Structure 1
Amino acid sequence: MFLFKRLKIRSFEMGLHFRDGEFRGLIGVGSHWIFDPFNRTNVEVVSRRAPFLAHEKLDLIVKSGVLKGYAQVIDLQDDQRALVWIDGRFARILPPGQHVVWLGQREVRVEVVDVRAPRFEHVDLKVVLQSATAREQLETGAVNRGCVGVLFLDGRCAGLLDPGPWAFWKRSADVRVVEVDLRETTIDVPGQEIMSADKVTLRLNASATYRVVDPRKAVCTIDDHKQALYREAQLALRAVVGGRELDALLADKEAVAVEAAGLLAPRAEALGLAVASLGVRDLILPGDMKDLMNKVTEARKAAEANLITRREETAALRSQANTAKLLADNPTLMRLRELEVLEKVVAGGKLNVILGEKGLADRVLNLL
């Protein structure tokens, strides 16, 4: 049996002296002889290169007061957390409880944070969030570019979050962030079967472009503002189409879109939205109505062609009547016309029999 034990503590180490399970103190750097004939003494050598002292009897060690000058004791309440920076680099987030950080070997900086304010904001937020301990202590997320986050704490709307990362202390509040896209968005309103004022059923395809102008209202007023706007656009289009006859609808689709947009705008505003445009892409008639419209168009075109033909015939007859009257009133002009005819007959090299007014025939024979 050995009465003495030899112990060597190096420059970066510290000895924790226990006797019969009770903490007796620290053993510093150097060689030490410990008298222990009954093997009741235990010395645990720990490295101070590891910044934190972790021990199952840490409370006893702290309570003894021997750590003063060798280590910094951090005692965190339930509403506190500590950010620890070692050698200028972020190391971890400390939870509530007692923690001991060795001094001397490493440059240690501790920042105590009050978590009664649920949101965690820090100039080095992105660096802190990369730590594994951050995921244990914080609820994290990010708002995408072009969007805004509507924040709810314990079920109540608490504000808006700008694009970028966000973090809230766990168990400090029930946190929910609803992301809202602020960019212009287009919704399609396809295949709407609507009856016009003259009882014609047609299919209508339309689209609406909108953007969110009041994110709080868009989230708190309705569970799905996009679906709500879709329903409101349906109702507006039905109201406009139902008040017009088919011919008016086909003649001016733009007027239908403008009137429908006017009806939709105040309804969208109540949802926190602004309608940029509403357009009617297609008006689709049923098959039998298409055939009927084609027949009407064909009959209209045929009537127009017939009218043009009659106008041309009337103009031709009017021109002939004017010529005949002119020749009858001017014998000299009549004579010149007869000579022109005779010239054409002779030039053709053949004789033609011309039947006409008696005087004209006799004169032609005399000329021959």
Structure 2
Amino acid sequence: MQWLIDWMLGRTRVLLSETERAILLENGRFKAILGPGEHRLPARGRSLAVERHAIDASPNLASRFERVLLRERPDLAEAHLVTLQAGEGEAAALFRDGALHALSLAPKTRLTVWRDAGPWEIRRWPIGERLEVPEALRAEIERGGFQAQVVKATVEPGQLGLLTIGGRHMGLLEPGVHLFWQTGRQVTVRLVDMRWRGVDVNGQEVLTRDRVTLRVNIAAQMRVVDAERAASAVRDFEDALHRALQFAFRRTLGARTLDQLLEEKVHVDAEAAGKVRAEMAEIGLEIGEIALKDVILPGEMREILNRVVAAEKEAEANVIRRREETAATRSLLNTAKVMAENPVMLRLKELEALESIAGKVESLTVHSGTRGLLDEVVRLQG
């Protein structure tokens, strides 16, 4: 029956639930924004349009009339809508029940939500030269899935990050997780390891002063002490160290003969290392131990050196053998002198000889006494 009365009176009935809102246009112009409940709208002689919105399913205003509504009826917009729009040089965040709902980083971007879908809170932060996201907002961005609007950089322990924005160096980043606003300017973080690490130069060919071609392996320890200088002074500081080691050892080894190199290896290491350390200190690197690990000779040169070493060792062995023979002869001569001057000592030696002979035969017969036997032994030995 009620519909018949509405028809007779020329009214349109609109019923909205608690989770619905409607934009009412009369004769093409905004008339009102309808809240929950039953609405009977006079329609006779009028053209009515009702646009329904389910604010529980989508709290954002999705209407083709949004721009016109905000411009023509700011009073309605103020009463029923909340608009998020960042100012120049600032970031704006919209929170719903304490949780991050939306971000705005540019004045040209705007988001409109239904006020009754809240409660809503808008917070604003200035965007500095480094574009860093405030610490209090980082967890909300990670949790809410807004990574597309930020640039994330992770600096591990033992590292430093070189921050560059739009091609301009903006300083260093300490270990940790850093977020930067995505405003259209390119954000780059170059990681620099500040810990000690090894650098090897393998298979470097060197020509000595006596025209012997060698292959050497060089090892060095290095670390970065000034990350900004190391990154700005050269394009690749590890490659710069590699080349410095090559040139320093090539110059040092090329000024010596092979024999000098083998004899003065420690001095060669110290001389070349001093040049490398001085050069690398200028670009922010600290160089630790530098060592000439291996000196690899050509095959024929190894054979020659082996023969030389063998001859030297043989000569040393001959000298030692002659020395021992001389010492043994001198000892015998001294023993003979003692026996000549001391008959008792001679008799003891005779007894030792007799004992030695007796140990090698089964039986021994003595005919003329011990003295006669010893005389016979002496004659036999003579």
Q: TM-score range by the shorter chain?
A: 0.7 to 0.9
Give the aligned partner of residue 274 of structure 1.
286
CA distance in 2, matches of 1:323, 1:117: 100
Deviations 1:73-93 (A, max 9, x none): 334345444211111211221
CA contact (8 A) 2:17 2:36 kept: yes
Return the TM-score normalized by structure 1. 0.83
Give the aligned partner of residue 86 of structure 2.
76
Give the aligned partner of residue 51 of structure 1.
59
Runs of at least 5 residues in structure 2 that lack an aligned partner in the other structure? 367-374
Deviation (angstroms), 1:225: 0.9
Residue 31 of structure 2 is aligned to residue 18 of structure 1? no
Cα distance change on mapping 1:341 and 1:268 into 2, 3 Å: closer
CA contact (8 A) 1:222 1:228 kept: yes
Structure 2 residue corresponding to 1:225, chosen from 198, 223, 237: 237
The secondary structure found in structure 1 opposite 2:242 is helix
The secondary structure found in structure 2 opposite 1:76 is coil
More helix by share: 2
Deviates most, 224-233 or 273-282: 273-282
The secondary structure found in structure 2 opposite 1:145 is coil
Deviations 1:265-308 (A, max 9, x none): 11111221111221222111111111111111111121122112
CA contact (8 A) 2:133 2:181 kept: no
The secondary structure found in structure 1 opposite 2:21 is strand
Map 1:279-294 → 2, pairs under 5 A? 279-294=291-306
Cα distance change on mapping 1:311 and 1:81 into 2, 3 Å: closer
Structure 2 residue corresponding to 1:102, chosen from 99, 111, 114: 114
Q: How many residues align?
A: 354
Give the aligned partner of residue 125 of structure 1.
138
Give the aligned partner of residue 195 of structure 1.
207
Identity %: 31
Runs of at least 5 residues in structure 1 that lack an aligned partner in the other structure? 352-359
Amino acid of the structure 2 residue aligned with 1:160:
L
Structure 2 residue corresponding to 1:9, chosen from 16, 20, 37: 16
Return the TM-score normalized by structure 2. 0.80
Amino acid of the structure 1 residue aligned with 2:70:
V
Deviations 1:171-227 (A, max 9, x none): 453332222111222111001111334433221111111111111111111111111
Deviation (angstroms), 1:350: 8.6
CA distance in 1, matches of 2:234, 2:141: 36
Deviation (angstroms), 1:11: 2.6
Amino acid of the structure 1 residue aligned with 2:60:
F
Structure 2 residue corresponding to 1:235, chosen from 241, 247, 250: 247
CA contact (8 A) 1:59 1:98 kept: no
Deviation (angstroms), 1:246: 2.7
CA contact (8 A) 2:26 2:46 kept: no
Deviation (angstroms), 1:111: 1.2
Map 1:187-336 → 2, pairs under 5 A? 187-251=199-263, 253-327=265-339, 332=343, 336=347
CA contact (8 A) 1:5 1:34 kept: yes
Moved over 6 A (4+): none
